[in-house]
Amino acid sequence: MNKKGLTLVELLGAVVIFGISISLIALLLSVIFNANDKILEQSRANTEGTIVIAHLEDLMRNFAVTDYSTCIDNPNCVTLESHYTYELSGDSSSIILVTHTPPNTLQISILNNQLYINGVVHEIRNFEIHSDSYIEKTTVNNQLKLKIVIILYINEGKTYTFTSNQTFDLSDVPAS
């Protein structure tokens, strides 16, 4: 007799194969989404960290540092000082010495998981500054070597480290 259709065993085998296929596809999609989330988080951290370091370096580069001081109650703080600058005269025919009394200052500090620039909190989106972030100041031969390490983290404990290294020649106000 010629029967048309599926036997119970064939139907059960097809359902099992279909279930395994669906499970593998779901597992693959889960792995892809998790990897995508990690890549997105790392991309955001790189963007935020790069913006913070670039902003700090831009401020320091455009500031004529001649001296510095440390903050009394915060080791992760530095006040850069500009006692003088050279500027073009009004007719641009000569360069003149301009002294700043009191000196211009640029204060950078890390306190309570916040970055402060001149006493104002620098906002960082989606991340917090880790308590291991620091500012290191070293003076050798009238040169200030300033190292600022910003460690960003998110609740899952993953950290992202960004560093700025700057060197400034320290000098007294030249005699006019």
| pLDDT tens column, 98-149 | 898 999 999 999 999 999 999 999 999 889 999 999 999 999 999 999 999 9
Give residue 103's Cα distance to chain centre.
28
Beta bridge partners of 82: 104
pLDDT: which is higher, 68 or 94: 68
Beta bridge partners of 121: 116
Q: 1 pLDDT band (50/70/90 cuts)? A: very low
pTM, entire model: 0.80
**pLDDT at residue 9, as a whole number:** 86
Taking CA atoms, 43 is separated from 17, 38, 152, 157, in Å, by 39, 8, 12, 16
Mean pLDDT score of the chain: 91
Torsion angle (degrees, nearest 10) of CA 93, 99, 103, 109: 30
Would you call the peptide bond into 102 cis, given omega within 30 degrees of 0 as the criterion? yes
- Write down the domain spans for the chain: 36-169
55 pLDDT more than 80: yes
Beta bridge partners of 87: 96
**pLDDT at residue 176, as a whole number:** 64
Taking CA atoms, 59 is separated from 53, 65, 134, 167, 169, in Å, by 10, 11, 18, 14, 16
